Amino acid sequence: MANLHGEVYYPPEEVVARAHVQDWEKLLEEAAADPVAFWEARAKELVDWFEPWERAFDDSNAPFYKWFIGAKTNIVHNALDRHITTWRRNKLAYIWEGEDGTRRTMSYYRLWREVNRFAAILKSMGVEKGDRVTIYMGRLPELPIAMLATAKIGAIHSVVYGGFSVEALAERIEDAQSRVLITADGGFMRGKIVPLKEIADEAVRRSPVVEHMVVVRRTGHEVNMEVGRDYWYHELCQLPVANGTVETEVMDAEDPLFILYTSGTTGKPKGVLHTHGGYQVGIATTLKYAFDLKDEDRWWCAADPGWITGHSYIVYGPLILGATSFIYEGAPNYPYPDRWWRMIEEYGITILYTAPTAIRGLMRFGNAWVNRHDLSSLRLLGTVGEPINPEAWRWYYEVVGKERCPIIDTWWQTETGHFMITPLPVTPLKPGSATKPFPGILAEVVDEEGNPVEPGVEGNLVIKHAWPGMLRTIYGDPERYKEQYWSKYAKQGYYLTGDSARKDEDGYFWIIGRVDDVIKVAGYRLGTAEIESALVSHPAVSEAAAIGVPDELKGNVIHTFVILREGFTPSPELEEELKQHVRHEMGPIAVPAKINFVESLPKTRSGKIMRRVLKARTLGLPEGDLSTLED
């Protein structure tokens, strides 16, 4: 176990030569000795503050930890305003390519102008500090613009991934009580139009709190526009009110910046809340150290801005560091499987950060698609979202990176805000391991009592000390925050990640996967309960259970077990209808690969479905302890 596959990859000399951090082990030691001092130094070095903090860290009301107490700031000042007075005003902030080949570029100055314009529009709609604004669109430049404009005026954004559908959007609007929704007419995906406006209309019918909808025109197909409620973004931009500049609101370091919903163990998604102060320090530090981002880089984080990866490493992180980012709208294999490689060559991308599932998907098409292109601009590669299998790792390393580019395997979560376990460019790599915790992060693998386990033994992954970019609460539900993350190891004060892991003899971490009712499908995080409640909302379904089943391409796929109501009989047509129903309610990522019609479900005496029994049966594994099984 010490070294799972007997391989260690050492970084090439030219990578080491330019790396920001040279002595990894030494930095780890220093930062571990005093994490607060480490983060405090980064807070001074990497971001500006309107007013300094009185204390860097406060744990007097644990687990409601605070960072940079009393400091005044606004993340948009650091991401945008401060660059406008330097040479960076003319530097490209974003290079964008639409799936249909449309190209747009945006300098820092231009982005700043657009953000001012959008901020003025939001203000004119009555959006004030602390109000929630829901944003639902595809990968367009207007997505970061809308996020930045919201944050600039001190409002809180809640971005809902454009791949989600009606019910998922409706319940997120409802939970956040957003009076404003920003969307687009549609988005392009695999040459087809995703009818975003239509979905938004239906979601707002279910959650009628929305008073105004701003609609970005992307596809140009005809959509319903409700007079007095819906406005075209490009028309609003023409209004006199959309001119001039809007003052960046002075925020307290602990004021909320955004809510991002993620799946947990109940059907109701959790609104993970992040703040202005600590979050900006965490993302800027991790991006700079782990990906060694420099002014001359062209950074491509291929995630969606609608996920935490995009919030931290497409929008705020790269902008704070003044970097140039590339954003691509569409599918990786459209119109041909070399689309990504063509764009890397075309734009001279230097760092690519993506998910193992995307790597496996592209690997399937064979090496010729990659080799057709000059990828010599690449110097670092990254992955996130799920464990990367050694085969995909090696393909990424050899075929894409030509054995020149270290692979930065970053473990983190929506809740953590930024990378938590990750190599730096100088770190010796073992394929499949995210290596060691980032400097200033104290992680451990522990048993049920909270004691560290021996090397090679599986246990719960915990974080032992608070960190600046951590979530502060679950929006509107502080009890759930305490219960979910801090109750299991309350005595020790450890944060429970929900993942299991092993550490090897060298102290390298090997993430195994979720141990709760969360399924990772193609890197997307879904709750079993959400899928189940989507199924049960169909008139034919009386009860449902969902499990994750390992899959070579997607990491996991969803299998469901469904008990039908009286008067309905199993059929392939009904299976298809139920899949379509889940697609309509939740979105394509939640569609089960398989629906099994069953007569009963294994339950505990208290009526909880024992998904682990279903999983064991499906995979032909031992069923484990059945003492709580009712029947």
Which residues pair with residue 230 across a beta bridge? Answer: 213
Q: Report if residue 256 touches ligand WT7, rule: CB under 6 A.
A: no
Q: Report if residue 424 touches ligand WT7, rule: CB under 6 A.
A: no
Instruction: Give DSSP secondary structure letters for 326-370.
Output: EEE-S-TTSSSTTHHHHHHHHHT--EEEE-HHHHHHHHTT-THHH
Residues 484, 490, 492, 495, Cα dihedral to 10°: 10
76: closest CA among 106, 105, 111, 41?
A: 111
Q: Which is nearer to ligand WT7, 434 or 474 (CB)?
A: 434
Q: Which is nearer to ligand WT7, 210 or 308 (CB)?
A: 308
Q: Which residues contact 127 (CB under 8 A, 6 or more apart)?
A: 133, 150, 153, 155, 179, 180
Question: Mapping DSSP to helix (H, G, I), strand (E, B) and coil, where does residue 99 land?
Answer: coil
Q: Which is nearer to ligand WT7, 500 or 542 (CB)?
A: 500
Among the listed ranges 197-205, 338-346, 405-413, 565-573, the one in contact with ligand WT7 (CB under 6 A) is: 405-413
Which residue type occupies 357? T
CA 507-283-479 angle, to 5 degrees, is 85
The two tokens of residue 273 are 């809340």
CA distance 166 to 160: 11
Q: Report in angstroms how near the CB of residue 263 gets to ligand WT7 at its nearest.
A: 8
- The correct pick among 119, 120, 148, 308 for binding ligand WT7 (CB under 6 A) is 308
Among the listed ranges 218-226, 238-246, 403-411, 473-481, the one in contact with ligand WT7 (CB under 6 A) is: 403-411
Q: Report in angstroms how near the CB of residue 267 gets to ligand WT7 at its nearest.
A: 17
The two tokens of residue 286 are 């991790």
Q: Which is nearer to ligand WT7, 248 or 435 (CB)?
A: 435
Among the listed ranges 132-140, 178-186, 237-245, 408-416, the one in contact with ligand WT7 (CB under 6 A) is: 408-416
Question: Mapping DSSP to helix (H, G, I), strand (E, B) and coil, where does residue 37 land?
Answer: helix
Which residue type occupies 410? T
Q: Which is nearer to ligand WT7, 338 or 444 (CB)?
A: 444
Among the listed ranges 134-142, 333-341, 409-417, 613-621, the one in contact with ligand WT7 (CB under 6 A) is: 409-417
Distances (CA, A) of 252 to 66, 70, 249, 476: 11, 7, 10, 19
Q: Report if residue 410 touches ligand WT7, rule: CB under 6 A.
A: yes
- The correct pick among 133, 204, 251, 384 for binding ligand WT7 (CB under 6 A) is 384
Give yes or no for a contact between 361 and 190, defined as CB atoms under 8 angstroms apart: no
- The correct pick among 49, 397, 411, 475 for binding ligand WT7 (CB under 6 A) is 411
Q: Report in angstroms how near the CB of residue 446 gets to ligand WT7 at its nearest.
A: 16
- The correct pick among 300, 369, 412, 561 for binding ligand WT7 (CB under 6 A) is 412
Q: Report if residue 498 touches ligand WT7, rule: CB under 6 A.
A: yes
Among the listed ranges 96-104, 222-230, 241-249, 506-514, the one in contact with ligand WT7 (CB under 6 A) is: 506-514
Q: Report in angstroms how near the CB of residue 413 gets to ligand WT7 at its nearest.
A: 4
Q: Which residues contact 174 (CB under 8 A, 6 or more apart)?
A: 206, 207, 209
Q: Which is nearer to ligand WT7, 332 or 387 (CB)?
A: 387
Q: Which is nearer to ligand WT7, 261 or 369 (CB)?
A: 261
Starting at the edge strand that comes first in sequence, how are the strands of the sheet with 495-503 ordered?
Answer: 443-446, 459-463, 495-503, 509-514
- The correct pick among 99, 297, 338, 499 for binding ligand WT7 (CB under 6 A) is 499
Q: Which residues bind ligand WT7 (CB under 6 A)?
A: 262, 308-309, 384-387, 409-414, 434, 497-499, 511, 513-514, 520, 525
